[in-house]
Structure 1
Amino acid sequence: MINTVTDAGVCPECQATTETVRDAVPWCPRCEWNLDTYDPARRAREFGWNWVDRWTHRVASRMTRQQFTHLAGRPLGGKGSNRVRLLTTVVSLLLLAMVLALAIAGGWLIVAFPFPNLAILPGVAMIGLAVALRPRFGRLDPEMEVLSRHRAPELFALIDEVAAAIDAPMPDVVGVDNDINAYATTVGLRRRTVLCLGLPLWGSLSAGERVALLGHELGHFVNGDPRRGLLTQPALIMLGSAADLFRPVRTTVGGGLVEMIGDALGRAFQWTVSRILFVAHLLLVVVALRDSQRAEYLADELAAGVAGTTATSDLLDALLAAESMALVVGRETRAGHGADRWRSAFAESRAANAARLPLLRQLSVRDGTSLFSTHPPIGLRRRMLTDRPWRDSSVVLTEASNERIDTELAKEYERFRRTVSWSA
């Protein structure tokens, strides 16, 4: 239930009435005064200290606004920032070289001296450290149910058409899961491309919005997102893993004075190394995620090229109403209804809240701003899209094809229904 208050006060900048939804700190819907303010009641802590979280939110708000202003009306580019890619690539190569050097040095200490010898201990430790710090390139989510072209030919034909329209590769793996989400990623050293569609999200969208969703997700294979590159992904993971690995843990309980001093010095050293690695990780992530957010804007533009601006902006509004979607899908699923009823019930919910939608778009700018966010706020994504030249759809999903796709997914929808029923 969305609670709208229209008499929260008067804007000191333009004298308009300030408003609030969902008990948020009021702001001015006309000039957006106070929209970027930090609202601790609505945000999860990121660093644990209120003053730090307030400061980082202010920095993130300024960076997000500056990026939006810089990109508005300009080509978004397919490869992103050369400087960001170069930085993350260099850091990744350095980290990989350090891990390889640790493994080689550890192996040399083990075999270089006659057995037994004390060099084996540091050798084993160095190899263990190299294994712990090795890059991870992801793997298929075990919760995802993989689909085959034979099982879902109509869905695969639509994916083929959308991929061809934006010059993106056809995913190596297509699957579904139970999340109100969708994602495209690459996994493993062979960089297998994966497209996963969340059943409650896919089932709740209209035909045009489904095309937009595919256009956006497949766009991640061609939009230069640094989170998916073979030579950029390790830098965004390995420093954080190293910081966690060096985090001090108390290992000595009791003991003499020498043991206590040794433990304290060891933990002080671990804490210092861990903090240095964490700060380096933080700085790199903050820089790289700005380019990741640019890639999200580009993915939206690619989606508009295949589905049209109207359907893509409607998709963003649907994502903004994810909480309502979850309630509607849960209620209709427990009542025994399928995806056709999800769509109609969700459409009714959206129509009932249409008057509040502009406020929710604005509030998303505050709620969705973070130094660690991979996506720009939905409100800014939609504004970026609608401020650009209007696009018509180039790929049309007919209602007949839409129904056939739902028929192909009947088994998966039923599995989801059972999961919801059992968890009720």
Structure 2
Amino acid sequence: MISRGSACPRCGQATVSIREAVPWCAVCEWNLDTFDRAGRASEFGWAWIDRGTYRLAARLNRQQYAVLVDRPLESSGLGLAGVLTAVASILLTAGVVVLAAIGVWLLFAFPFPNVAVVLGVAMIGLAVALRPRFGRLDPDLDVVSREQAPGLHALVDEVAGAVGAPLPHVVAVDDSFNAYTTSVGLRRRRVLVLGLPLWGALDGQARIALLGHEPGHFVNGDVRRLLVTQPALTMLGNAADLFRPGHSSVGGGIIEMIGDALGRMLSWTVSRLLFGAHLLLVVTALRDSQRAEYLADEMAARAAGTAGATQMLDTVLHGDAVLQVVRQSCRGGAGPATWRADVGRSLTAAADRLPLLRQFSIRERTSLFASHPPQGLRHRMLTARARQDSRVTLTETRAEQLDAELARHFERVGRQLAWATD
């Protein structure tokens, strides 16, 4: 998996490589930010564009890390990217309101019937199609009420209190190797979702870190969760889909064919322009989102200690191997207590490789469209700062009690993992 190559031209140490990737120096990080076309999925379809956007993203990642590493990681409200996103949201929403108002005016401005009515109805319909969406609770989530899992809710309350985060309105579980928070609806109801394969694989302090990190997004100014920024992140993308040309009409004369071709060309051009503007806004917002991730990691360290937070990051970084360990445990009929023990042994066995995997993630996870900084930079940010002790401790006994509350959900997910193909 890890191979060593020729001497680094900068410091003379042997270069390293993982999975046949372009080699780099683990000591001075020479060549680490090199664009490795063979090891990356294409984002735009043109190598020269992918190379340019990768280099821009790598430079922005390094600059952001350098700016934040020596500063207190405290929420200071919206940054420049967040302000630009909010302004764009206000302008887009105002545009849709004006569009709807003109449509209503056209309905009544002239004696009926008239062509203006058709235009007015079309403008109102377009305004409805382009209206801001504020999300809704995923109906496929398994919502876990306080009555069903009092211990879990009590732990969420305790960790939220330790880091100064508001409580989620909804706690739910799913079958993903993930965890996330979101805010839905105009009232921005806070939702915390724990993916049971990840939750079951984490030991006590890593679980505390996860609970410190995710609700931290409710107070770190993450633009993805704010009401005022939602229109900018969704409206132009919806408009681009709306104007995307459909299938060509079949049959008809030459005039119809020319008209269809011109209409499709105009529609495609408008759709691409809207999509380009959407990408620009998303890329701008994601810069601020990455800053928010560093702050959420800091809150994870406050709750679980630096060791617990870094272990949580390493478990996610080693995700494919961890999920394979969990899957094997499920096939043996074991529950989450065994998952944790097996994953702990797997991470211990991989301890010598983890520093290189963290470095490799700096190259592998760099993208203008990444909502998170690379795990290697996140781990480095935590260890470069003053070490923190845990404010909340989760013993194995208490962890097993939490697992018992979710036993029905763990059994279902365990069956799914046991039958899943590798």
Q: Same fold (TM over 0.5)?
A: yes
User: Of the candidates 281, 294, 299, which is equivalent to residue 297 of structure 1?
Assistant: 294
Query: What corresponds to 1:124 in structure 2?
Result: 121
Aligned residues: 421
Task: Tell me the distance in 2 between the aligned counterparts of 1:82 and 1:408.
Answer: 40
Equivalent residue runs for 1:252-331 within 5 Å: 252-331=249-328
TM-score normalised according to structure 2 size: 0.96
Q: Which amino acid aligns with 1:61?
A: A
Q: Is the 8 A contact 2:174 2:196 kept in 1?
A: yes
Query: Per the alignment, do residues 310 and 422 of structure 1 end up closer, same or farther by CA in structure 2, a change over 3 Å counting?
Result: closer
Q: Which runs of 5+ in 1 are unaligned?
A: none
Query: What corresponds to 2:2 in structure 1?
Result: 4
Matched, 1:184 2:187: no
Equivalent residue runs for 1:152-171 within 5 Å: 152-171=149-168
Matched, 1:23 2:20: yes
Equivalent residue runs for 1:40-119 within 5 Å: 40-119=37-116
Matched, 1:13 2:10: yes
User: Of the candidates 116, 135, 138, which is equivalent to residue 138 of structure 1?
Assistant: 135
Q: Comparing 35-44 with 174-183, which one deviates more in the overlay?
A: 35-44
Aligned to 2:160, the other structure's residue is in SS state: helix
Matched, 1:209 2:216: no
Query: What corresponds to 1:39 in structure 2?
Result: 36
Task: Tell me the distance in 1 between the aligned counterparts of 2:40 and 2:238.
Answer: 25
Residue 247 of structure 1 and its aligned partner are, at CA, apart by 2.4
Q: Which amino acid aligns with 2:210?
A: L
Equivalent residue runs for 1:376-395 within 5 Å: 376-395=373-392
Residue 249 of structure 1 and its aligned partner are, at CA, apart by 3.2
Q: Identity percentage over the alignment? A: 59
Task: Tell me the distance in 1 between the aligned counterparts of 2:8 and 2:213.
Answer: 37
Q: Which runs of 5+ in 2 are unaligned?
A: none
Query: What corresponds to 1:234 in structure 2?
Result: 231
Residue 411 of structure 1 and its aligned partner are, at CA, apart by 1.0
Q: Comparing 134-143 with 160-169, which one deviates more in the overlay?
A: 134-143
Q: Which amino acid aligns with 1:53?
A: D
Task: Tell me the distance in 2 between the aligned counterparts of 1:306 and 1:291.
Answer: 23
Query: What corresponds to 1:195 in structure 2?
Result: 192
User: Of the candidates 401, 414, 417, which is equivalent to residue 398 of structure 2?
Assistant: 401
Residue 273 of structure 1 and its aligned partner are, at CA, apart by 2.1
Q: Is the 8 A contact 2:81 2:287 kept in 1?
A: no
Q: Comparing 384-393 with 90-99, which one deviates more in the overlay?
A: 90-99
Aligned to 2:387, the other structure's residue is in SS state: coil
Aligned to 1:18, the other structure's residue is in SS state: strand
Q: Is the 8 A contact 1:250 1:267 kept in 2?
A: no
Task: Tell me the distance in 2 between the aligned counterparts of 1:314 and 1:422.
Answer: 28
Deviations 1:140-161 (A, max 9, x none): 1222100011111111111001
TM-score normalised according to structure 1 size: 0.95
Residue 358 of structure 1 and its aligned partner are, at CA, apart by 0.8
Task: Tell me the distance in 2 between the aligned counterparts of 1:325 and 1:124.
Answer: 55
Query: What corresponds to 2:331 in structure 1?
Result: 334
Deviations 1:314-336 (A, max 9, x none): 11000101101111111111221
Q: Is the 8 A contact 1:76 1:294 kept in 2?
A: no
Q: Is the 8 A contact 2:85 2:284 kept in 1?
A: no
Aligned to 1:193, the other structure's residue is in SS state: strand
Query: What corresponds to 2:359 in structure 1?
Result: 362
RMSD between superposed Cα atoms in Å: 1.6
Q: Is the 8 A contact 1:307 1:394 kept in 2?
A: yes
Q: Is the 8 A contact 2:328 2:418 kept in 1?
A: no
Q: Which amino acid aligns with 2:11?
A: C
Q: Which amino acid aligns with 2:231?
A: P
Deviations 1:267-299 (A, max 9, x none): 332233223222222222222211110000000
Residue 423 of structure 1 and its aligned partner are, at CA, apart by 4.5
Aligned to 1:232, the other structure's residue is in SS state: helix
Task: Tell me the distance in 2 between the aligned counterparts of 1:44 and 1:137.
Answer: 30
Task: Tell me the distance in 2 between the aligned counterparts of 1:79 and 1:226.
Answer: 13
